[in-house]
Amino acid sequence: MRDTAVIIMVAGKGKRMKSNLPKVLHNLAGKPILNYVLDTVDQLEVKRKILIIGYKSDKIRELIGDKIEYVEQKEQLGTAHAVLQTEKLLSGFKGDVLILSGDVPFLTVKTLKKLLKYHQANNFCCTLVSTVLKNPKGYGRIIRDKKGEIKGIIEEADLSTDKKKITEINSGIYCFNKEKLFQALEKVTTDNKQGEYYLTDTVKILLREGLTVGNIIVKDYSEILGINNRLDLTDASQKVYQKTLQDLMLQGVTIVDPNSTFIERGVKIGQDTIIYPFTIIEKGTKIGSNCFIGPYSHLIDADIGKGIRVWASIIESSTVKEGANIGPYAHLRPETVVGKGAKIGNFVELKKTVIGEGSKASHLTYLGDATIGKKVNIGAGTITCNYDGEKKHKTVIEDGVFIGSNNSLVAPVKLGKDSYTGAGSTITEDVPAGNLAIARSRQTNISGWRKKKKEDKS
């Protein structure tokens, strides 16, 4: 096969998205629209990959980095003008040019390989991809003669009334002979209602010069439909989510209600785990077998072991080990590790904290920058005071410690093995192993205080 260069057009703003963010950077079921296209292209054997950028190009560069070549279209003068910006970059390249749009996320490798093979086997100057839609509104139409041969492409804005009835649409996906492409681009004019340089006009120019144009028709039209507005984005997201859920269910995962469950591609879930409604699980998350997740849970880049219950809780970039119980209404912030059989209960927040095997923080607790040993009991209302206004400090609680309710542990502080603290204590010094620490003011009852207060007011 001849060498191939891929050009992906992403210079436009995407006005119909009504957004200040470039259209191709909008999130589609867990990753930007553009990344779907790039992931597909990465599976092709091509010599060059070029991204035509324009509107807020810095944001696109920030996302993609240096793994691709860039050309900037500083003025948005049309698709032909956009492709023409690559001429200098491709000056020494010999072969074919595959042109794609960055807003067509479901285009498959299979279709692209078919396009390239058909194009090169027949030595066409251009091969385009089309499909048939019942409602073709918004798309350019493929114009054919009575013999069925392609005569050109007309954009929607330039269609006459009778041509609007044509249901075969142009996908915006092409393979060109590189030399013939740039020769045709030089001849494109703005003689159309939008006053733009249309890439579609190159087909008409090539045919007029007696050169060959081929065509493949994709039967599954959804594969080549672009995302133009927020409605399209939602429809596409639902398609990805539903396919992900179907795959998981076929692998032995129970999804109680697929209509209210959102799991991103790449999430790993073990057999016989049950996912309850209103749960969101984002990429990077791994869940073991025999777990109960949800309802109303949100997991982000979480590592969840076997036999774990997560109920109405948020877990971010944290690890939960086998047999632990999380929630309801717990929040595990990044760099938290919950040990085997541990319990993190109602309204407990953990941040950068390690909880040992069998330990419990059952309710109304904040533990930050802490290392907690095995079989520790954290009383209700306990907090680690880890921040002094400038620096974070560490709290260490060794095995078997019992923390009374409503404790403030002022870091840096260490509580030794099997020590106790009294309820209502503010612990500012280390507690030796086996000791009981009580740090609170002695109670004083003032006789007659209420009566005196009333007299003072009168």
**Rounded to 10 degrees, what is the CA torsion of 434, 440, 446, 449?**
-140
User: Which of 224, 248, 263 delimits the end of a domain?
Assistant: 224
Q: What is the CATH number of the domain that holds 381?
A: 2.160.10.10
How much is the average pLDDT of 339-354? Answer: 98
Distance separating alpha carbons of residues 132 and 138, to the nearest angstrom: 13
| 219 plus 361 within the same structural domain | no
Measured CA to CA, the distance from residue 80 to residue 186 in angstroms comes to 9
Alpha carbon 89 to its chain's center: 32
pLDDT tens track for 26-69: 999 999 999 999 999 999 999 999 999 999 999 999 999 998 99
Rounded Cα distance between 385 and 348, Å, is 15
- State the DSSP string of 78-114: -HHHHHHTTTTTTTT--SEEEEEETT-TT--HHHHHH
Give the model confidence (pLDDT) of 108-150 as tens digits.
999 999 999 999 999 999 999 999 999 998 899 999 999 999 9
**197 vs 415: CA distance, rounded Å:** 73
Query: CA Rg, the chain, in Å?
Result: 32
Q: Indicate the SS3 state at residue 303.
A: strand
Categorize the per-residue pLDDT at 376 as very low, low, confident or very high, splitting at 50, 70 and 90. Answer: very high
Does residue 403 form part of some domain? yes
Burial of 418: CB neighbours in 10 Å, binned 0-12, 13-18, 19+:
middle
pLDDT mean over 387-411: 97
Triad 155, 157, 160: Cα angle to 5°: 90
Domain extent for 94: 4-224
Residues taking part in catalysis = 363
CATH number of the domain that 26 lies in? 3.90.550.10
Domain boundary residue, one of 206, 224, 242: 224
431-435, long-range: CB within 8 Å, 24+ apart, which pairs? 433/398
| Residue ending a domain, choose from 183, 208, 224 | 224
DSSP 26: S
Q: What is the pTM for the complete model shown?
A: 0.89
**Averaged pLDDT score across all residues of the chain:** 96
pLDDT at 436: 97
**Closest by alpha carbon to 175, among 95, 109, 110?**
95
Q: Could you read off the pLDDT of 287-333 as tens digits, one per residue?
A: 999 999 999 999 999 999 999 999 999 999 999 999 999 999 999 99
Give the model confidence (pLDDT) of 170-203 as tens digits: 999 999 999 999 999 999 999 999 999 999 999 9
Confidence of residue 450 (pLDDT cuts 50, 70, 90): confident
Query: Is position 309 within any domain?
Result: no
Q: Based on the structure, what is the number of domains in the chain?
A: 2
